[in-house]
Amino acid sequence: MSLILVICGPAGVGKTTVCDRLLEKFGDQLTRVITTTTRKPRLGEKEGQDYFFTTVKEFKDLLGKNAFLEHELIHGNYYGTRKENVFGEIRKLQNILINIDVKGARNLPKEILKIRDFNVNIVSVFLKPSNLEVLKKRLFQRASDSKVDIEARLQTAKKELSIAENFDHIIISKDKESDYISVEKIYLRYLKSKG
C-alpha cells in the first residue's frame, strides 16, 4: 500500500518548507511528486526538482492527451499533477508527498481512486495561517511577488480558508519548526498504521 501525503494551504503559508524538510529526513521512503507549471521559475528554483516548467502550449498539449490527474489555472498560470508521476510511484508501492493547491487537493483523491487496483491511503493536511495579516507579511517577506500578485493571493487565500474543514488534518501555522513537527507526527502516525 502507498501512503499519499497531500500538503495544502494558501500561498506563503510554508508548504514548500515543510515538504523540503520531510524529504530531507524521509527521502529514502518518501517520493515528492513534482508539479508541472507554466509560471516562470523563482530565484533558485530548478527544473525537475522544484517544478517542471513548461509553456502554455506544451501544457495544453498535455491536457489534450489527458496527462493530468488534476490541473488548475491559478493567478494566470497553469499547474498540474501528471498521472504518470503519481501512478508510477503507486505501482512501486512508494509513499508519495504532494504539495498542491486547495482545488487540486480536492480533485486528486477522486481521480486516484478511479483506478481500482491501486491500494492507497490518501491523507490530506491543510496548513492554515493564524490570520490573513500574518500571511500577508510572509508573502511580502518572500519577495517573489508584486504587490498586485500578493493581493490576488490573499483573495484566493480567503476562499481556500473557507474549505479547510474538508481536509483530514488542519494545522494552525505558528513557525517553521512547529509546523514541520506537526506534519511529521501525522506522517509517522499513518506510516506506523500502514505497516
Q: Please, are residues 21 and 99 in contact by the beta-carbon 8 Å criterion?
A: no
pLDDT of 18 above 90:
yes
Confidence category of residue 195, pLDDT binned at 50, 70, 90: low
Confidence category of residue 148, pLDDT binned at 50, 70, 90: confident
Average of per-residue pLDDT across 150-178: 87
Query: Quick one: residue 95, left, alpha or beta (phi over 0 = left, psi -120 to 50 = alpha)?
Result: beta
Tell me what pLDDT residue 4 has. 93
As to burial, measured by CB atoms within 10 angstroms (0-12 exposed, 13-18 middle, 19+ buried), residue 76 is: exposed
pLDDT tens digits, one per residue of 50-73: 899 999 999 999 999 999 999 988
Tell me what pLDDT residue 170 has. 95
Tell me what pLDDT residue 162 has. 83
Tell me what pLDDT residue 53 has. 97
pLDDT tens digits, one per residue of 64-116: 999 999 998 888 899 999 999 999 999 898 999 999 888 888 888 888 888 76
Mean pLDDT score of the chain, rounded to an integer? 88
Q: Please, are residues 71 and 61 in contact by the beta-carbon 8 Å criterion?
A: no
Tell me what pLDDT residue 155 has. 84
The Cα 195–Cα 83 span in angstroms is 26
Tell me what pLDDT residue 143 has. 67
Q: What is the value of pTM for the model shown? A: 0.85
